[in-house]
Amino acid sequence: MEKYYTISEASKYVNADPSTLRRWEYEGRIKPLRTAGNQRRYTQAMLDSLYPHNNHNQSQKENKLFAVGYCRVSSAHQKDDLARQKEVVQTYLEKDGQPFEIISDIGSGLNYQKKGLTKLIHLICTKQCNKVVVNYQDRLVRFGFELIEDICKENNVEIIVINQTEDVDDNQELVNDVLSVITVFSAKLYGKRSHKNAKIINTNKDLFAQDD
């Protein structure tokens, strides 16, 4: 009896997010069946057709590896920049021709516990992807890029930086990142609500503003 996969089961089978399967459906790469309740159902043949060159189990496993594009901005008001990053990364990955997923984060490049970054590192360490693509190096992390690079090498994952030149529009974000570090350490030393903590934060904001 033929097995029918839900979208959750199918996503695990092909090592891709459900959102990726929906996008592939929109692009015409796969056409799932629909239940009476309009739920998607996939057959194994449908899913295997996404990787037509599979000859045996090992080659299936290799071909199911996908690329990951990672995009990040530091704050919500930079959503336009985030959209531009996604467009650049997606265009690059589409030309590459390999199945891919794009992960995005809104948060400081000094925060290493962002949801998207955590997911990316999990995919790398569990060998679910074989390529990571970012627009600029500091879109991945502000400092410690070499550490992420070493993690990728240990797991046979290629990391690609599309634009090797420095992001000239990134000065204000660097200022915000530095201020966030000062704020955290000052709060730990003097308490978040202390007068001295507020004075240190405001003084540093004024100093950075003078350099604009």
Which residues are catalytic, by number?
A: 74
Whose structure tokens read 């309009």? 38
Q: Which secondary-structure segment (H or E) carries 8? A: helix 7-13
Which residue, among 97, 101, 96, 158, has the nearest Cα to 130 in the 3D structure?
158
Which residue, among 85, 68, 69, has the nearest Cα to 170 in the 3D structure?
85
Provide the token pair at 172. Answer: 């204000």
Burial 90-99 (b: 16+ CB within 10 A, else e): eebbeeeeeb
**Edge-to-edge strands of the sheet including 40-43?**
4-5, 40-43, 33-34
